[in-house]
Structure 1
Amino acid sequence: MTGGAAQGQGAQGQGALAGRRVLYTGASGGLGHQTTLDMLDAGAEVFALDRDQSKNESLLADTPDDVAARLHLLEMDLTDQDALTAKLAQITDNKPLDVVINNAAIYPSKPFEDFTMEELRLVHQVNVEAALICTRAALPGMRDQGWGRIINVTSITLTGGWENLAPYVQSKGSLLGLTRAWAREFGKWGITCNAIAPGAFPTDAEKIHPDPDGYRKFVLDHQAVKRRGTPHDIAAAILFLASDGAGFITGQNLAVDGGWNMT
């Protein structure tokens, strides 16, 4: 572990999440990696769920020594729902989770008619059902303490601008619906539920595009802000929605996309 990772760039600053216990799926991915580091820097204890061993190792290597004790890397396949449920029961056995970030997703790309029903079900299982299980596990503790933050990661693809991603877009639409349903149902217990819709960030997801330079131009032409987004941009939004300061915001889908979609 090193102290070389960038720190202190979250919207809330150091200590804003002190003592908060955070469950984060897909925590070692392109956007999750930096958000995890920023949450640790803000004082959170983070339970990072990701099945990619190499990305988990990279996250661990970038975690400064002085916060490493608050990072719990859990290498898990979210399709193993029994194992996931059991692990969550262990995490919540003695202390509640304060924040749940449902971020993990797979994004196969091909024409809709080429997907098998098994492939469609797999996308739903990872992108939606894992969120159901994580939220259900955290809810009793949040309800008992009268405080909680649920953050679902949706997508700019819900605006309809991309082809060949039907099961992914469907799954993100499900998360948006759950965001609003949970916000309405859980608000009476002091629990907020919001979504973040990332724009076109330079992550592994872009590797599916055959013309990277052309795609970069396409992105910048559509954005009002003429630079590519960075993981810190997502981290700042998540840190805000996870904070005390966002306690009167719920049921919203915050676009973090450089002004691509203005609705």
Structure 2
Amino acid sequence: MKGRTILYTGAAGGLGLATTLLLMRRGATVVAVDNDPAKIAALTEAAAGIDTGRLVVSTADLSDLAGFRTELDRLVADLGGFDVVINNAAIYPSKPFEEYSIEEHQFVQRINVDAGIVAVQAALPGMRARGFGRIINISSITISGGWANLSPYVASKGALLGLTRAWAREFGVHGITVNAIAPGAFPTDAEKIHTDPAGYERMVLDAQAIKRRGSAEDIAAAIAFFAADEAGFVTGQTLHVNGGWVMA
């Protein structure tokens, strides 16, 4: 990854930090977009000892799409563009479908999908000019069914799969690959929506073929594969990283 510049939304979160550090160790400049001060501080501290790559932090508000595009244009001018875009940032409210307002549905879509569209729009001209690009959309095991009260989140993750396939078809002629990763149940802040953590963990392990919880490093390895030069003949695909819970 030496010489590559990577735009990574949600880069300081539970699954983001390990990936950011791995990509930096492999020589990349990672533009970490996150707005959680504690997580940014932890990422900055963890990255301080890595001299093979570079960390650039952006606290852009993904719900402000115009402002996010302005920030991306500034970063493109400063860094010369993005070789890799990882659309990972997401929010995940939980309540019955009928209790969501249409504005709440739209807000989830704005963060989880529309911000990713803006990121790709900002990166695409440079990728096309270089004849190289990697776009990685982080979907979710929830699109496979089995989870109630998450309809806006599930809809957003399904939208990312559709965009993965549409972009892969459209951008392939320019040497750009587009793939998705659908993580399973990982022990991150997202699990705080479950009222019985111990019971939820038992359910996860019972469902998985591999009887351990997934780690952030499992996702980091999958992202690093799709971001690498060697993955240039893989596009339009979804990699399920879930311990064999859902086999597709």
TM-score by length of 2: 0.97
Structure 1 residue 180 corresponds to structure 2 residue 171: no
- DSSP-derived class of the 1:193 partner: strand
State how far apart, in whole Å, the 2-side matches of 1:135 and 1:36 are: 19
Structure 1 residue 256 corresponds to structure 2 residue 230: no
State how far apart, in whole Å, the 2-side matches of 1:100 and 1:152 are: 8
For 1:128-139, list aligned pairs within 5 A: 128-139=113-124
Deviation at 1:100, TM superposition (A): 0.1
State how far apart, in whole Å, the 2-side matches of 1:87 and 1:70 are: 18
In the alignment, which residue of structure 1 is the partner of 2:55? 71
For 1:88-99, list aligned pairs within 5 A: 88-93=72-77, 95-99=80-84
User: Given that residues 24 and 53 in structure 2 are in contact (C-alpha distance below 8 angstroms), is that contact kept between their aligned partners in structure 1?
Assistant: no
115, 122, 125: which one aligns with 2:110: 125
Q: Compute the RMSD of aligned alpha carbons.
A: 1.1
In the alignment, which residue of structure 2 is the partner of 1:53? 37
In the alignment, which residue of structure 1 is the partner of 2:69? 85
Task: Return 111-120 or 75-84, whichever deviates more.
Answer: 75-84
In the alignment, which residue of structure 1 is the partner of 2:221? 236
Deviation at 1:69, TM superposition (A): 6.9
Task: Return 151-160 or 81-90, whichever deviates more.
Answer: 81-90
Aligned length: 247
37, 40, 44: which one aligns with 2:28: 44
Deviation at 1:257, TM superposition (A): 0.4
Structure 2: where are the runs of 5+ without partners? none
Q: Which has the higher helix share?
A: 2
State how far apart, in whole Å, the 2-side matches of 1:45 and 1:210 are: 39
In the alignment, which residue of structure 2 is the partner of 1:245? 230
In the alignment, which residue of structure 2 is the partner of 1:14? none
- DSSP-derived class of the 2:12 partner: coil
State how far apart, in whole Å, the 2-side matches of 1:123 and 1:102 are: 14
Runs of 4+ in 1 over 4 A off after TM superposition: none
User: Given that residues 25 and 50 in structure 2 are in contact (C-alpha distance below 8 angstroms), is that contact kept between their aligned partners in structure 1?
Assistant: no
Task: Return 227-236 or 60-69, whichever deviates more.
Answer: 60-69
In the alignment, which residue of structure 1 is the partner of 2:153? 168
State how far apart, in whole Å, the 1-side matches of 2:20 and 2:200 are: 28
Instruction: Kindly provide the amino acid, as one letter, of the partner of residue 32 in structure 1.
Output: G
TM-score by length of 1: 0.92
Deviations 1:64-93 (A, max 9, x none): 334397101111210111221111111212
Structure 1: where are the runs of 5+ without partners? 1-16
For 1:111-122, list aligned pairs within 5 A: 111-122=96-107
Change (3 A) 1:83 1:67: farther
Task: Return 34-43 or 176-185, whichever deviates more.
Answer: 34-43
